[in-house]
Every structure is written in structure tokens, then in C-alpha cells.
Amino acid sequence: MKIFLDANVLISVVNKEYPLFTYAARVLSLADNRKFEVFTSPICLAITFYFAEKKHRTKLARQKIGLLSENLSIAAVTEAVVNKTVKNNAVNDFEDGLEYYAARESNCQCIVTEDVGDFYFSDIEVLTSESFLKKYLSAR
């Protein structure tokens, strides 16, 4: 299963933000599971770096982003992704549109975010970290 992680999931792990950290870290750890391919975008990494740098300073933030980029697949934000976002009148938040179309172009079946309502326009399943774990890992 291909899943896409929104920046808020990555930030909660990198900055150990409780109570989300517990669930988000478990979802992020699925990158080591052959049954899952875990994606994010360069935009999500940039947002995560910004918040990590505020908390941990530049050197440690860079190390954390390096670890993420080594272990996650990176969904491309291409010209087509930008054009689809611009043309979709249902998309009010440009960044969320870019993430959504990057996830779609990577054939992700699910977007994991703590702000489910941001993806109200999505035809891909959108779940919180906790909901994702309950739905896809509780029976395993």
C-alpha cells in the first residue's frame, strides 16, 4: 500500500509532539515494512525542516530531514501537479493541493494527516495517524 504523509505528521515525529507522536511515529515506521511504500513531498520536508530548525537548530534539523529523505519515497511536485492544483477550483489551499496531486501522481491510496478537513476535495482516502493505524494495522 502506498501512503502519503503530510507535513504535520512528520513534524510531530521530528519534534516529538505528544500525544500525536505516538501514532505518527508508528505510521512513519511503516517505511521499514515491505507491505507499505511511504511517500512525502519536498514541500512537506521543507515545512518540517522549518519547524525542526526552530526547535533543534540547523545542524540537528538537517540531520533529521536527511534521515526522513533517506527512508521515505519522495513524491514529485511537477509542472503537471502545479497545473492540476491551479485548475481545481475546489482547492482553496495551494500547498494542500500540491500535496494532494503529488500523492495522486505517485498512486498513493491514502493521505495521512492530522488535518483531515484540509483535504475535503480529495478522492483519495484521508485519515489521521491514529485512524490509519486502527484501520490498516489492527487486524494484522
- Answer yes or no: is 139 within a domain: no
- Any domain includes 18: yes
Identify the domain containing residue 97 by its residue range.
Answer: 2-133
In the chain, alpha helices (H): 7-14, 20-28, 42-71, 79-87, 94-105, 129-136
The pLDDT, as a whole number, for residue 138 is 78
Tell whether the model's pLDDT for residue 126 goes beyond 90.
yes
- Compute the average pLDDT of residues 74-100: 97
| Per-residue pLDDT tens digits for 52-78 | 999 989 999 999 999 999 999 999 999
Domains of the chain: total: 1
Range from 50-64, 100-114, 121-135 carrying the lowest mean pLDDT: 50-64
For the record, the C-alpha cell of 132 comes out as 490509519
Look at residue 138 and tell me if it is in a domain: no
Largest CA distance in the chain: 40
Rounded (10°) CA dihedral 59, 64, 67, 68: -140
pLDDT score for 139: 54
CATH number reported for the structural domain that contains residue 29 in this entry: 3.40.50.1010
User: What percentage of the chain has pLDDT greater than the value 90?
Assistant: 96
Cα–Cα distances in angstroms (integers) from residue 38 to residues 20, 68, 110, 111, 132, in the given order? 18, 10, 10, 10, 13
